[in-house]
Amino acid sequence: MYILITNDDGFRSEGIKALAKEATNRGHSVIVSAPAFEQSAKSHSITLGHPLISKKRPSESGATVYSVQGTPVDAVRIGLEVSDRLYDFCVSGINDGLNAGPAVYYSGTVAAAREAAMNGIPAVAVSIDVGADQAMLENAAKLALDLMEKLQGKNFKRGVYASINLPALLPEDLKELTLCKTAFLYFEDRYEHRLSPQGTDYYWLKGDVLWKPAQKGTDIYFLERGYPTLCFLGDMIDHADSYKHLFPNQ
């Protein structure tokens, strides 16, 4: 297959290297197009105010690697520009940290997969909990590539993409990959107000991510119990009918 690999942690991250190595070892042709620097929580933002600098970089895996001074979605778009044909698949990750529940709205890793899907390319985002070692990353890469090969040639609806999350556990300690829904939760984190030595107010996001207990059967619920999770996301949902009664003349 002809694969585009991207992420939001930057082209030097260990997660993206693990994916590129696993893909090339399986005989796939790989283009890596990823941010030049870490771009977490950029969601689906793109760069409008200045040009995007892209550089071809040395590669240890045999993939062709480009760094892009922009967001993860910028990197996907540039990945499309540098190719003379459409990719068979896009893999985004491996993100350093889970992208489960409400994180799918903030994540640059997930947004990169979404951008590929919006361009008609089947895509999967891959994320693992913080603290993963090399063996865990390599196992996550194998799991992602196994899924990609399983989905090859299947009828992906445009705009729909897959998202895999894994606990930071050794391969032998992981339970089976579980298909489930994304937890319907909201972050409840807050900011700490501080005063600078110059008397300026500033706010620092508190380090702990807070949320209520996850609903049974959702991605966070399973992740907390040692299961890697697989969700299918995307597509635009129209809620107009729910509010139609407020506009009787429409």
The region of weakest confidence among 53-62, 96-105, 115-124, 206-215 is 206-215
Is it the case that residue 73 has pLDDT exceeding 70? yes
- Look at residues 158, 186, 182 and name the one whose alpha carbon lies nearest to residue 232: 182
Instruction: Give the per-residue pLDDT at 134.
Output: 96
* Mean per-residue pLDDT, 120-147: 97
Work out the angle at residue 105's Cα, subtended by the Cα atoms of residues 100 and 110, and round it to the nearest 5 degrees. Answer: 70
List pLDDT tens digits, range 4-16. 999 999 999 999 9
- Look at residues 137, 121, 138, 120 and name the one whose alpha carbon lies nearest to residue 129: 137
The bridge status of strand 123-128 relative to strand 29-35 is unpaired
Instruction: Give the per-residue pLDDT at 3.
Output: 98
**Quick one: what percent of the chain has pLDDT higher than 90?**
82
Instruction: Give the per-residue pLDDT at 60.
Output: 86
The bridge status of strand 2-6 relative to strand 89-96 is parallel
List pLDDT tens digits, range 185-203. 888 788 999 999 999 999 9
Written as six digits, the tokens of 124 are 């999967």
d(CA 71, CA 114): 13
Please name the residue that has the structure tokens 């062709």: 64
Evaluate if pTM is beyond 0.85. Answer: yes
Is it the case that residue 210 has pLDDT exceeding 60? no
- Look at residues 75, 74, 159, 72 and name the one whose alpha carbon lies nearest to residue 117: 159
C-beta separation of 131 from 94 below 8 A: no
Please name the residue that has the structure tokens 């997969």: 113
Give all domains of the chain, ordered by start, each with its CATH number.
2-184+214-246 (3.40.1210.10)
Q: Using 50, 70 and 90 to split pLDDT, how confident is the model at 207?
A: low
d(CA 98, CA 130): 7
CA distances from 214 to 2, 112, 193, 210, 220 (A): 37, 25, 29, 11, 6
Q: Using 50, 70 and 90 to split pLDDT, how confident is the model at 238?
A: confident
- Look at residues 165, 160, 197, 193 and name the one whose alpha carbon lies nearest to residue 180: 165
Instruction: Give the per-residue pLDDT at 208.
Output: 60
